[in-house]
Homo-oligomer: A and B are copies of this chain.
Amino acid sequence: MNNIPYKIYLDEAELPKQWYNLRADMKNKPAPLLDPATLQPMTAQALSGVFCEELVKQELDDTTPYIDIPQEIQDYYKTFRPAPLMRAYNLEKALGTPANIYYKFEGNNTSGSHKLNSAIAQAYYAKQQGLKGVTTETGAGQWGTALSMACAYLGLDCKVYMVKVSYEQKPFRREVMRTYGASVVPSPSMDTAVGRKILQEHPGTGGSLGCAISEAVEVATSTPGYRYVLGSVLNQVLLHQSVIGLEAKTALDKYGIKADIVIGCAGGGSNLGGLIAPFVGEKLRGEADYRIIAVEPASCPSFTRGKFVYDFCDTGMICPLAKMYTLGSGFIPAPNHAGGLRFHGMSTTLSQLYHDGLMEATSVEQTAVFAAAEQFARIEGILPAPESSHAIKAAIDEALHCKETGEEKTILFGLTGTGYFDMYAYEAFHDGRMHDYIPTDEDLAPGFASLPKV
């Protein structure tokens, strides 16, 4: 197998022309979103006040297996895709493992992550609908950057509510978004009723993702010609992100490689759901078997310690209820947690798959994640994002297990992005100021107490 290159790039003609809608092959469909007021399933009409019409259709469609990627989106994909499938020869050698390690690297674009795959799709449908612009929130800034890039390309207005503490601590991310013409507002702001209320109650607050979501939704629903877009959790996002898995699968198939284990980091599920889609599809259709492993931070363990129940997607409790593995919308991860994997819940699709035993989940601690990140950077060259490094840590552990057992397994993991804008976290790690945090059952109790009675 010496003819496998370090990097497999598909030809333009081999790029996916359709997204794969995993839900179509699921026997047990993810539970529908519920209207928090009526506890009835959200209708297309109700959702279309918040989201673009075509995206609402995609959100609710759990029967169509393949959905055409519009030509204009395909063309934009060509500017930064294919993403390379990398063979980690150097890492294998350094670990002394018989395992073959591959990673799908999504960081070779200015957003620095896979987020651009869905951002361009959502912006495209907004433009098709004749809208003037979109609103969103961003925490660490990857999603906001991706959306800014997509909107700049299509000539759409883009308004990003950025968690105030990130806005102040991550001025570079903010400037990248400004370069792409987005208006970036620190949240909470005086722009919205919800922002003004929070500022009145907590004048010095650094904001939260939940509050930023609420502001972005309020502006989208109260401004003619605007809709709200979201970078993770939703079914539509997983649909768009299926390009990750489809490309990876095509590249592996091209070289006759069969993965044994597929590993992805899990926050809201956008990367994991996209990466594993075609592999889980084969499992669901009984065509092949794979071990699928979700890796989450020990500090925010939705899969491994959460409950599979209906919960709010936002801390403001204004969004629909979703049935998912959740720690409760009142759960707040420890402030020292550096990665972007801090969502209290999880994609409904992935939650159902996990509940049905189609995938495993594991949690890893922060300093071990950064140690793996640094090891990986020195050996493989790429400086990984903290989020991606959760998958690296799990992949290294599996490879070392193969070393013990002598098994020549093929491991594929998702390297979602680069850590160029996360150097504060790396600095804390280098200076010994980074600490692990595993919530006790008592720490988790307030989150669970916040769960709605459905």
Contact = CB atoms under 8 A, between A and B. Distances in A.
A59 interface: no
Nearest to A381: B79
B109 A78 contact: no
A309 interface: no
A5 B10 CA distance: 12
Nearest to A421: B420
B79 A179 contact: no
Nearest to A111: B381
Interface string A408-437: 000000000010110110110010000000
Contacts of A194: none
A61 interface: no
Interface in A102-120: 108-110, 112
Contact of A172 (B5, B176, B381, B420): B420
Chain A residues touching B, majority SS: helix
Nearest to A110: B383
Contact of A423 (B9, B78, B176, B380): B176
Given A6-B12, A7-B78, A172-B420, A149 B426 contact: no
A314 interface: no
B12 A179 contact: no
Contacts of A420: 112, 172, 176, 420-421
Given A175-B426, A175-B427, A110 B153 contact: no
Contacts of A378: 152-153, 179-181
Interface of A: 5-7, 9, 11-12, 75, 78-80, 86, 90, 108-110, 112, 149, 152-153, 171-172, 175-176, 178-181, 374, 377-383, 418, 420-421, 423-424, 426-427, 430
A379 B423 contact: no
Nearest to A78: B6
A178 B430 contact: yes
A6 B12 CA distance: 8
B78 A5 contact: yes
A60 B108 CA distance: 37
A383 B80 contact: no
B427 A176 contact: no
A93 B6 CA distance: 34
Given A5-B11, A7-B78, A179 B383 contact: yes
B5 A377 contact: no
A319 to B, nearest CB: 31
B381 A110 contact: yes
Given A172-B423, A430-B178, A381 B6 contact: no
A404 B380 CA distance: 47
A181 to B, nearest CB: 6
Contacts of A181: 378
Contacts of A179: 374, 377-378, 383, 426, 430
Contacts of A374: 179
Contacts of A421: 172, 420
B381 A80 contact: yes
Contacts of A152: 377-379
Given A5-B12, A152-B378, A171-B423, 5 more contacts: A5-B11, A6-B12, A79-B90, A178-B426, A178-B430
